[in-house]
Amino acid sequence: MKKTSTRLADGRELVYYDLRDDTVRDAVDRRPLERTVTTSEVRRDPLLGDSVAVASHRQGRIYHPPADECPLCPSAGERLSEIPDSSYDVVVFENRFPSLAGDSGRCEVVCFTSDHNASFADLSEEQARLVLDAWTDRTSELSHLPSVGQVFCFENRGAEIGVTLGHPHGQIYAYPFTTPRTALMLRQVAAHKEATGGENLFDAVLEEELAGERVVLEGEHWAAFVPYAAHWPYEVHLYPKRRVPDLLGLDEAARTEFPQVYLELLRRFDRIFGIGEPPTPYIAAWHQAPFGQLEDFEGVVRDDFALHLELFTIRRTSGKLKFLAGSESGMNVFINDVPPERAAQRLREVAS
């Protein structure tokens, strides 16, 4: 992998990740952009103890542009985009309309391929490995920023999810705090560790799932399963079998096998609802240990956390979506329409 860092016309950082070491990236952003001004701030909810990002400047972000005006495609002639060069393998840049900025963190866009009509599932194993390496590098770089407490790499795919740009891409949020979802897991880890005299909760969950009926696919270094208490109609958790706290901890064997397992998982998701159905909308979310202090979680150290990816769709059956209505949105109590065992069986049935 070759990494080349440059600046866009408004001062934002852009990084090319290339498969070939001899690739030269010297294209200049020719757009007449003024320096980006954001109004992002983080407000803490005194009743719930969580945080809300207020970012009013995002109201003006680009919304469903036609394919020939996509800002994530390479620049071509006088058609100038967020990527100055005429081609790329993987590129990462600071979001022009970030939810988090400055002392409130940072938001980046990750473009998986220059092919506007592709999806992550269409990537080769070599390309998918390059994305993994980019995620890992950005996690390392962002973790050193003084305002960053946790790094979250994710992909939203499909208009039903709320995606406003059709080009295959994901995002990275660098939060200035430990997110509520992670804090919940850390509290459970702490309680389990104390109750069992030191047993790791993630290890126990993985061991139990691998011995059960909800395994979707398994490699030498990775395992994917539908969790016992899945929140979403089709939800899969992907774990490295050797517990590590973040992407930086993966060894070469796990990195090599990841594209094989993950690409197969994504391709199965696109076959859940049958041939001729639209591509399955999904969210793919990496859970990594926070880089901030863990004093709020007594007895827990950073290595107690287990890196894992959650992949889920909001589609519950053909032509029908799972909406977060009263119980889910009002009380955060999920109601799942598809039994996890049935979801796992379906994902095994659609193996390629």
DSSP code for 165: -
- Which pair of tokens denotes residue 35? 């320096």
State the Cα–Cα distance between residues 256 and 220, nearest whole angstrom. 11
The counts of H helices and E strands in the chain are 6, 15
Asked if residues 66 and 105 have their Cβ atoms less than 8 Å apart, the reply is: no
DSSP code for 74: B
Q: For 16, how many CA atoms within 13 A lie in the half-sphere containing its CB?
A: 26
State the Cα–Cα distance between residues 287 and 276, nearest whole angstrom. 32
Give me the sign of the Cα torsion angle 225, 285, 73, 167. Answer: positive
State the Cα–Cα distance between residues 111 and 235, nearest whole angstrom. 24
Annotated catalytic residue within 169, 192, 287, 308: 169
Query: Is 169 marked active-site?
Result: yes
Long-range pairs for 114-119 at CB < 8 Å and ≥24 separation? Answer: 114/73, 114/74, 114/83, 114/87, 114/88, 114/89, 115/168, 116/67, 116/70, 116/72, 116/73, 116/166, 116/167, 116/168, 118/168, 119/157, 119/168, 119/266, 119/279
- Catalytic positions, written as ranges: 169
